[in-house]
Amino acid sequence: MNSELMNKIVLGEAESILPKIEDNSIDLVLTDPPYFLDKMDDKWDNDKVSKITDYCHTIKSLPPGMKFNKEQGKRFYKWYFKISKELYRVLKPGGFFFSFSSPRLYHRMVSAIDDVGFLIRDCFIWLYTQNQPKAMSLNHFIDKLDYDNETKIELKERLNGWKTPQIKSCFEPIVMAQKKYERTFLNNMLKYNVGLLNTNVKIGEDMFPSNVMTTQRIHEITNKCFLLPKPTKEEKGEFNIHKTVKPLAICEYIIKLTTCSEDAVVLDPFVGSGTTSVAAKKLGRKFIGIDTNLEYVEIALKRLENIERETVSYYETKNNGIQLRVLEAKSKYLRKRKQTSVRSGK
């Protein structure tokens, strides 16, 4: 059944495509779902989102995603519970499920994944320093109060610098969940080729892999411990109009950390412009991507066309007829950095 979908970007709703995927057949689910903020729900559409003008009834200039509504979180939980149930079915025992989120919705997302039966293993964060602060001054509201001018001026002075409770958001949480493994980690790995983390994969300056990642040079300590390659200008593709493209390096890092076989299948049910599938293809893994939006599917296909597989070497060991194949490739970034260090004599 999976062969029809293998190495394809499928146009359709995850809800109707996921049932076509075989039980216990996927090595890794890596995805960035729609967040259900304002109009950005499961029918998320770039055109519509760009044209919304009435997303906030109080302040028209608020961009989509800023209006706070408790119901959004609850609707998201219910919907993601159903999706996660399917993802649990299709993942191999011990297979990992990484899902990006937002600080505001993370608890709903993780509860849905947890309630389905996944083991919640960790929370990764993608750290950055640049983001648009969304907090707003209250002067606009003060002007509308039925007070005399002097009182308004006094009030503005008193509340100078006090803004609406939206702190500059500088990280994205990513849950690391795992389908229940069979018997022991070792047994599970030997049987299904998943369930362990590849600590040969390094982050920063050859450091043990961590749950903090950044693609931005911040400070010598963060660079040393958490830095992944900076997204290149070409990596998204000039034609890519998707608003929430993830850095390829983060997807590659997670894929290398959790999958070890060339037959490994990386599934993204909300693939957008295809970043996770591009990363899987580059690393010589198989992929299945799903998205409802034809324009994004076309962008993903175009990006995939331009990708060449990175050369990887692997060795095989046999254990009671069970094959364990471990990819040994170091990231291009590390190879490049080492060459640079040699050149600069560091």
Ligand X SMILES: C[S@@+](CC[C@H](N)C(=O)[O-])C[C@H]1O[C@@H](n2cnc3c(N)ncnc32)[C@H](O)[C@@H]1O
Write out the residues near ligand X by the rule CB under 6 A: 13-15, 32, 34, 42, 44, 242, 244-246, 269-270, 272-273, 275, 290-293, 296
* Residue number of the CB atom closest to ligand X: 272
CB of 190 vs ligand X, minimal distance in Å: 32
In sequence order, what are the residues at sequence separation of 6 or more whose Cβ sits closer than 8 angstroms to the Cβ of residue 16? none
CB of 283 vs ligand X, minimal distance in Å: 16
Cβ proximity to ligand X: between 42 and 114 the closer is 42
Cβ proximity to ligand X: between 15 and 262 the closer is 15
CB of 315 vs ligand X, minimal distance in Å: 32
Cα atoms found within 13 Å of the Cα of residue 37, Cβ hemisphere only: 16
Residue where the block lists tokens 């964060």: 125
R_g (Cα) of the chain, nearest Å:
22
Q: How many residues does the chain have?
A: 346
CB of 290 vs ligand X, minimal distance in Å: 5
CB of 112 vs ligand X, minimal distance in Å: 15
Q: Do 7 and 274 meet the contact criterion of CB atoms below 8 Å apart?
A: no
Phi, psi of 288 (to 5 degrees): -135, 125
Nearest by Cα to 280 from 255, 302, 300, 258: 255
Cβ proximity to ligand X: between 87 and 327 the closer is 87
How far are the Cα atoms of 2, 85, 116, 172 from residue 25, in angstroms, in the given order? 8, 15, 18, 29
Cβ proximity to ligand X: between 72 and 188 the closer is 72
Cβ proximity to ligand X: between 44 and 287 the closer is 44
CB of 272 vs ligand X, minimal distance in Å: 3
Q: How far apart are CA 13 and CA 257, in angstroms?
A: 28
Cβ proximity to ligand X: between 28 and 260 the closer is 28
